[in-house]
Structure 1
């Protein structure tokens, strides 16, 4: 096993890592938007909205991510052709972001729902009494407080999403895992390339964890300062 091969192809590994970051961060953005909509819908007073969000969450959480990736890469273009009688632009980066983002949105929705429910109900009642609508109270009072409590599980979701991005390699997208697989097949040795990819994955997850840990700590310090000011004013 020649581990120097990994360094010889560092440019391909860097490109693969960049593609992994692109698809992970893009999917995270989609997941946060969908998760916020679905999570707030789960606590809506409208029964139709609640049930619609629940159907989305149950379908996504009840089917394998690999099946969803195959659907977006192979099934969606066929449906598009049947409906519009033209070829869909099948960019693997965007399709991968969409597949992972929709999957992440279902899990993020539960994180957001739990964060919202963790806030004392008196906060909503006080906001409504002050003249805010339910939507205004949710945006301006409840969600900002709940967000701080959501950071640890959202950090875990980001790390899971980063690792799950490797599944997109099965449809030929040149992310980190795909790079390791192709180079391993080329040189008939997989161990150096898989270990190299593993080190990069570990470095990325460790970096994200530390950044989010620092952010959570700073936000918590800010909250403690605000609480102390409220106590002083009292």
Structure 2
């Protein structure tokens, strides 16, 4: 193992460039998956006739598909029907991760809302609040406490899942680590070990943030 060569300034710079892409894709995907997932979860909780049934089918289909398949479909199938923008690996990865994670987040939101005792909604409505007001001011704040841990865990999974986008040649951290390791077989263990350490550090920080957020809402 050649640690000195693997950790040359050039290699570390290239690895950090991949990390920047990883964080960018993960951050954008987290934002959009949270927005869409929360919206779908609330709609499912509201049990709007027909719409709720359609959303259940869509969410269950997405949740039970491999993320890798969704990534491949976004990158290679959608451009074939005219959506050429997804020839860009970064756009394809963001959309695929957003779709997959939004389905997961929607289930977390729906379950969190359903975990609140029905009497809370009834009491809020009897006090004169509309359904929307009761949901916003009474149910959501309580449900949020229970949503934070599983939601952050899902976001941590999303960050790790960005590595799957290496199959569509997204220049994220694992992609760049593979390129470095391919230059010299003696660099494989050191550089992959460094990538593992970086993933651990980022996800550990996220877990600490989650614990602090959970403590504030207790």
TM interval, short-chain normalised: over 0.9
**Aligned residues of 1:6 and 1:196 also touching (Cα < 8 A):** no
TM-score normalised by structure 2 residue count: 0.92
Query: 1:203: which partner in 2?
Result: 201
Query: 1:32: which partner in 2?
Result: 34
Asked whether 1:14 is paired with 2:16, we answer yes
- Which structure is richer in relative contact order (CA contacts within 8 A, separation 6 or more)? 2
SS at match of 1:34: helix
| 1:65-104 aligned within 5 A | 65-80=67-82, 87-88=84-85, 90-104=87-101
Instruction: Indicate the larger mover: 202-211 or 1-10.
Output: 1-10
Structure 2 gap ranges (5+): none
Q: Distance in 2 between matches of 1:5 and 1:131?
A: 70
Q: Give the drift of 1:180.
A: 0.8
How many residues are matched?
215
Cα RMSD for the two superposed structures: 1.5
Instruction: Indicate the larger mover: 46-55 or 185-194.
Output: 185-194
Query: 1:109: which partner in 2?
Result: 106
Structure 1 gap ranges (5+): 82-86, 221-234
Residues 130 and 91 (structure 1 numbering): CA distance in 2 closer, same or farther, change over 3 Å? farther
Q: Distance in 2 between matches of 1:56 and 1:89?
A: 22
Instruction: Indicate the larger mover: 94-103 or 134-143.
Output: 134-143
TM-score normalised by structure 1 residue count: 0.86
Q: Distance in 1 between matches of 2:121 and 2:6?
A: 56
